[in-house]
Amino acid sequence: MCGITGYIGDHKTTDVLIDGLRRLEYRGYDSCGVAVVDAKNELYLRRVSGRVDALDELVAQDPAKGANVGVGHTRWATHGAPSEDNAHPHTDCSGRVVVVHNGIIENYLDLKEKLLASGHKFKSETDTEVIAHLMEEKLKALHVQEKAMRADMLEPVFFEAFRKTVGDLKGSFALSMVWASCPAMVLTARMHSPLVVGLGKGENFIASDVSAFLKYTKRVIFLNDGEMAAVKKDGIDFYTFQGKKVSKEAVTIQWDSTMAEKGGYKHFMLKEIHEQSEAVENTLRGRLLPLGGDVLKAETGLAAAAMKGFSNIQFIACGTAYHAGLVGRGLFENFGLRASADIASEFTDRAKLMAKDTLVIAISQSGETADTLFAVREARSAGAKVLAITNTVGSTLTREADYVLQTHCGPEIGVASTKAFLGQLAAIYLVAGHFAAARGVLSATDARRYAEDLLKMPRLIEETLELEKDIAKVAEAFSHSEHFLFISRHINFPIALEGALKIKEISYVHAEGYAAGEMKHGPIAIIYKGMPLLAVAPSGRALELMAGNIEEAKARGADVVAIVDAVSRKTVKASRYITLPQAGELFTPMLTVIPLQIFAYYVALAKKCDIDKPRNLAKSVTVR
């Protein structure tokens, strides 16, 4: 995970780097740092164990003078505890080569052993530091007379040493490097970790994600695996790791930087919860009608005729995106179409069983989740086609999949995923509807009703959001509980899992999501008097059984909050109700999840947790 930034230009370099880090903090936030080359060609390096605000304060106390090139980093620890020593940037022994890195250098122990034997002194426990020392070795091997040469004459040397360094690395990396002796160029390289450059006028940017520099430019170029770039003030050249020059096209990003700001909300999570109606509407717009026609073909490459050729649907994803996949499985099965859903990190053996008639649907907000990408590669090499559902234009997933369906949720900053989940559901309902209609499973009348029901969802989501104050009161009543149960059945079972995940990740309490029918096979034993149990029980075929399961839990002391609609409320007996607008049975997950997101938010707020940046987590999980 981790976020990297790089800059060369005339703006105040530390400000650009730190501002970028703030926007990348969602990728990791246990420590951070910046390094710039100052007017005297000396390295200015500042690092802190903690958040970007602390780094900003430290830099403000003793600012860098005259710097116009540098790199920055916000870390999610893998090798070495979160501490100032392990924070990036890392330097070589001379203190003039400086590197920031996102990913894992798998052969770092081997490299480190050799470097130690050659006399290098290490200052951290990280895998990253080997890169700086390796670079020092490569520079030494090129017999550079650093002091006797003009900085511009050092550029080819810097480039060649960097290229050789990168060639020795195994694993995943997006890295950027500055050499104080050659301050007119930043070098950057990518292998299995996201990396993008931003094109400015007389200035250029490097980052893990475009949000870091959108404020300055929307023209960007994404690097592919095995590519590196020499970034100067007036231009960027791209190369393969073998040193062959490549030409690359710039794309313009549609997001603007204000979309990644809180807009008056206390937390990004709450803002994003309130953007869910828009996320669904934007994701559905222009893609639904005629259901079963070729409306997705131009955009995604997936034609209705191709839909007829797949006899299996396989969802793969992680975390919240996996829960969306579980809803998708239920939806496809409801249409009599064979479907499975797997956690990407547990897919390895099953991937080998994928065949040509399987459409793998890989869901990922970031499009950079390492487990999901690995599963996609395995499935494709076994012969399956892959449809990516992602919120991130230009992400690795979009480049590796056969078909791409972009969700239009806007940037999601809160680590706890909310609007991206609704966007994923909208995309899945779209695809499932098109499949069912294309394959003749839905009659013309049913297809019309399905489309009408789906198009009502943005409005019903708005109505559900109006319940925020009532839900907040219920949450406050339970904010001292340390254990929570979430149960449901059928198409809402994944919502019970999602409710439990939301509260766990932002409130640090113990929560279990269970299939209601499974409770009596063991988990019911954990119920004690007063234990909060959130039962997702909208109208539909599972209602009678759900009502029974709720009675069983109550009989053992559970304090039940029922998520119902006006019709199901008559059947369910609970101590508290959250009553949602009436939706078509299949579409209820798009509503039932919302009170659980809001519930989790207000429990976390009462517990004074760091809602947008929960402990131990990062938004993009780019390591396996």
Residues marked as catalytic: 2, 619
Q: Which is nearer to ligand M6R, 90 or 419 (CB)?
A: 419
Please report, for residues 398, 401, 616, the alpha-carbon distance to residue 224 in angstroms, rounded to integers and kept in the order given.
12, 14, 29
Q: Give yes or no for residue 416 binding ligand M6R (CB under 6 A).
A: yes
Q: State residue 234 phi and psi, 5-degree precision.
A: -100, 10
The Cα–Cα gap between 347 and 356 comes to 17
For residue 417, state whether it binds ligand M6R (rule: CB under 6 A).
yes
Contacts of 257 (CB under 8 A, 6+ apart): 211, 214, 215
5 binds ligand M6R (CB under 6 A): no
3-state helix, strand, coil in the chain (%, to 5): 40, 20, 35
- Residue 366 as a binder of ligand M6R (CB under 6 A): the answer is yes
CB of 614: closest distance to ligand M6R in angstroms? 8
Bridge partners, residue 513, by sequence:
486
SS3 227: strand
CB of 368 to ligand M6R, least distance (A): 7
Instruction: Report which residue's Cβ sits closest to ligand M6R.
Output: 319
Q: Of 194, 432, 227, 176, which Cα lies nearest the Cα of 315? A: 432
* Burial (CB count <10 Å: 0-12, 13-18, 19+), residue 113: exposed
Q: Is 505 in the site for ligand M6R (CB under 6 A)?
A: yes
- Judged by beta carbon, residue 318 or residue 495, the one nearer ligand M6R is 318
Total residues contacting ligand M6R by CB under 6 A comes to 16
| Contact call for residue 360 and ligand M6R (CB under 6 A) | no
Consecutive H or E run containing 398: helix 396-400
Interface region with ligand M6R, contact rule CB under 6 A, candidates 98-106, 181-189, 410-418, 569-577: 410-418
Q: Is 4 in the site for ligand M6R (CB under 6 A)?
A: no
Rank residues 104 and 519 by Cβ distance to ligand M6R and give the closer one.
104
| Residue 398 in the binding site for ligand M6R (CB under 6 A) | no
Distance CA 35, CA 72 (A): 6
Q: Which is nearer to ligand M6R, 313 or 343 (CB)?
A: 343
Q: Which of 257, 211, 203, 255 is nearest to 231 (CA)?
A: 203
Beta-bridge partners for 219: 252
Please identify, using beta-carbon distances, which residue of 26 and 108 lies nearer to ligand M6R.
26
365 binds ligand M6R (CB under 6 A): yes
Which residue in 99, 223, 318, 524 binds ligand M6R (CB under 6 A)? 318
SS3 of residue 15 by DSSP: helix
| Residue 2 is a binding residue for ligand M6R (CB under 6 A) | no
Residue 447 vs 609, nearer CB to ligand M6R: 609
Using CB under 6 A as the binding rule, whether residue 411 contacts ligand M6R is answered as: no
Q: Which of 31, 283, 358, 369 binds ligand M6R (CB under 6 A)?
A: 369
Is 407 a binder of ligand M6R (CB under 6 A)?
Answer: no
The Cα 488–Cα 533 span in angstroms is: 11
Two tokens, residue 567: 């019709």
**Contact criterion met (CB below 8 Å) for 228 and 166:** yes
**How many Cα atoms sit within 13 Å of 356 on the Cβ side?**
2
413 lies in the binding site for ligand M6R (CB under 6 A)? no
In DSSP notation, 87-100 reads SSPEE-SSS-EEEE
The yes or no reply on residue 561 touching ligand M6R (CB under 6 A) is: no
**Which residue in 212, 415, 485, 534 binds ligand M6R (CB under 6 A)?**
415
Contact present, 609 and 507 (Cβ < 8 Å): yes
496 contributes a contact to ligand M6R by CB under 6 A: no
When asked if residue 320 is in the footprint of ligand M6R (CB under 6 A), the reply is: yes
Q: How far is the CB of 338 from ligand M6R (least distance, A)?
A: 24
Regarding 373 and contact with ligand M6R (CB under 6 A), the answer is: no
- Distance in Å, CB of 75 to ligand M6R, minimum: 18
Q: Number of helices (H) and strands (E), helices first, in the chain?
A: 19, 25
SS3 labels along 267-290:
CHHHHHHHCHHHHHHHHHCCCCCC
CA distance 378 to 370: 12
Q: Which is nearer to ligand M6R, 180 or 404 (CB)?
A: 404
Considering only 280, 563, 578, 621, the residue that binds ligand M6R (CB under 6 A) is 621
- Minimum CB–partner distance for residue 317 and ligand M6R (Å): 6
Applying CB under 6 A, which residues contact ligand M6R? 318-321, 364-366, 369, 372, 415-417, 501, 505, 620-621
